[in-house]
Amino acid sequence: MITGDHHPVRNAPERFRFTGNGSEYFGIWIVNLLLTIVTLGIYSPWAKVRRLKYFYGNTELAGASFDYHGDPLAILKGRLLALGLFILYNAATSVASVWSVVGLVFLALLLPWLLRSSFRFRLRYSSYRGLHFGFHGSNAGAYWVFLAHLLLMFFTLYLTAPLFHARLKQYQHNNSRYGTAPFSFHAGAAGFYAAYLPVFGILIAMVVVMFVSIGSLQLGVDGEKPDPQAVVSIMGTMFLVLIGGMLLINPVWQALTQNLVWNNTRLGEHRFQSNLGVFPLMWIQVSNFVLVVLTLGFFAPWAAVRVARYRAECMQMIPAGSLDEFVAEQQRALEAVGEESAEVFDIDIGL
């Protein structure tokens, strides 16, 4: 046990807070958007860095805020390279030939390395209290997750999606550090299967409703023309159920997996707690959707802030001791050799 006697309430949970607001973010967003448009996208890395700096900077924990330090030029280089690859890949696969197979295999082999690089980049350039995060996952680990388990998932028709998710989070959270302190992850595949159960349940219910309603229409066709009124009411019910399912499925998935992930993640001996709620999340998503549509997209900054605020509010850290004790990792020497490749690829992924 750590003895931090200058901290009288050692184990009181520390809440994450998001201090930004929509109108102030709108001002930043719109200026950067316009600059991105008039430079035909070349400015977009700078816009991205400002966006992340805004969201990181407004996320607070225990009186300190996070920060993002990505270099826009490095991101630009990475994006140009990724764009080149994307064009090559599309050219290779647009015409059905042996090249489309070559393109697919090449991409499959490249993807794990790219994702690992982007994890490294993102964490390496994130900081809190002046200390940087870091990612030390191996290439072998990346191929094990993103090649072996991803392929397994496709071949099992997504039945192993929870297993893939578990391996992914194990790879990410067991290999991340804050300063020299390691994160660790304590949930196994069983936990993920339990979290995915309601998701699969909703999916199955949607498929069943679809089959039953289409089936009942088919029955009508066999005899005479089905009663148009019945068709309308069956189709109407079907669409309502399907839309309801679609609206529900994402919040359920997000809330259950996020809570599982963070409730089983530790930083050293410090723990986290996440209690995202399905219905608040659904309300935010649905109302954001409606408002973004009604404003032709200009509500987007407020929408992003609402999501960030709710997610932060639902997270807390349960310290096992003083947060002052973390020590910086000696990353300087590593930087020049190892991070070059990471800077080349900067992929945004919402894993």
Under the rule (CB under 8 A), what is the footprint of other proteins?
19-21, 24-28, 30-35, 37-38, 46, 50, 53-54, 57-58, 63-65, 67, 95-96, 128-131, 179, 246, 285, 288-289, 292-293, 297-298, 300, 303-304, 323-328, 350
- Number of other residues whose CB lies within 10 A of the CB of residue 170: 20
Phi, psi (degrees; rounded to nearest 5) at 255: -65, -50
Phi, psi (degrees; rounded to nearest 5) at 19: -105, 0
Phi, psi (degrees; rounded to nearest 5) at 126: -115, 145
Shortest spacing between CB 160 and other proteins, in angstroms: 23
Q: Which is nearer to other proteins, 35 or 152 (CB)?
A: 35
Instruction: Report CA torsion sign: 266, 63, 309, 26.
Output: negative
Shortest spacing between CB 300 and other proteins, in angstroms: 7
Answer whether 58's CB lies under 8 Å from 65's CB: yes
Q: Which is nearer to other proteins, 210 or 212 (CB)?
A: 210
Instruction: Report CA torsion sign: 85, 88, 91, 97.
Output: negative
Q: Which is nearer to other proteins, 151 or 334 (CB)?
A: 334
Q: Which is nearer to other proteins, 191 or 301 (CB)?
A: 301
Phi, psi (degrees; rounded to nearest 5) at 157: 50, 50
Shortest spacing between CB 208 and other proteins, in angstroms: 22
Q: Which is nearer to other proteins, 15 or 53 (CB)?
A: 53
Shortest spacing between CB 215 and other proteins, in angstroms: 22
Shortest spacing between CB 144 and other proteins, in angstroms: 28
d(CA 184, CA 308): 24
Cα separations in angstroms, 217 against 165, 225, 237, 290, 298: 38, 10, 13, 32, 42
Answer whether 246's CB lies under 8 Å from 297's CB: no
In this structure, the chain runs to a length of 351
Q: Which is nearer to other proteins, 95 or 140 (CB)?
A: 95
Q: Which is nearer to other proteins, 128 or 192 (CB)?
A: 128
Shortest spacing between CB 181 and other proteins, in angstroms: 9
Name which of 319, 332, 298 is nearest 29 in CA terms: 298
Q: Which is nearer to other proteins, 27 or 188 (CB)?
A: 27
d(CA 11, CA 273): 13
Shortest spacing between CB 164 and other proteins, in angstroms: 21
Shortest spacing between CB 179 and other proteins, in angstroms: 7
- The residue type found at 1 is M
d(CA 275, CA 63): 21
